[in-house]
A = this chain, B = another copy of it.
Amino acid sequence: MLGKPYNCKVATTMDMIVGKWKIAILLNLLHNGTMRFNELQKMMPGVTQKMLTSHLRELEQEGVIKRVTYPQVPPKVEYSMTEYGKTLQTVLEMMHEWGASHLAKKQQQ
């Protein structure tokens, strides 16, 4: 977790989404609704079980995603955004647009 050297709420949002695969997780869940661990992993080529697990745990702990386990063999675990977590979508959309325009600008040069 990053330290917070300054007293601003931007850092709070940063902490939520910083991590190599966190944005991918959030975008996948926002786009696809409920997904199993397995499905998430397939949508994110290169992610390891360890990283996927730890990122999911952190997002769950912050209340933005929901984890539901079905007591069966083999196990089934489903992840989805909480209603609260869905409020992140606006932020991510704005970041998406800025990123797109930034890439467009670099293309020009």
Contacts and interface: CB of A to CB of B under 8 A. Distances in A.
B20 A102 contact: no
A87 B98 contact: yes
Given A11-B99, A98-B88, A30 B2 contact: yes
Interface residues of A, number: 50
A90 B94 contact: yes
Contacts of A30: 2
Given A84-B105, A98-B87, A5 B17 contact: no
27 contacts: A2-B30, A2-B93, A3-B96, A5-B21, A5-B28, A5-B45, A5-B47, A6-B21, A6-B23, A6-B27, A8-B27, A8-B99, A9-B97, A9-B99, A10-B23, A10-B27, A10-B99, A11-B99, A13-B96, A13-B98, A13-B99, A14-B17, A14-B18, A14-B23, A87-B101, A91-B94, A94-B94
Interface of A: 1-6, 8-14, 16-18, 20-21, 23-24, 27-28, 30-31, 43-47, 62-63, 84, 87-103, 105
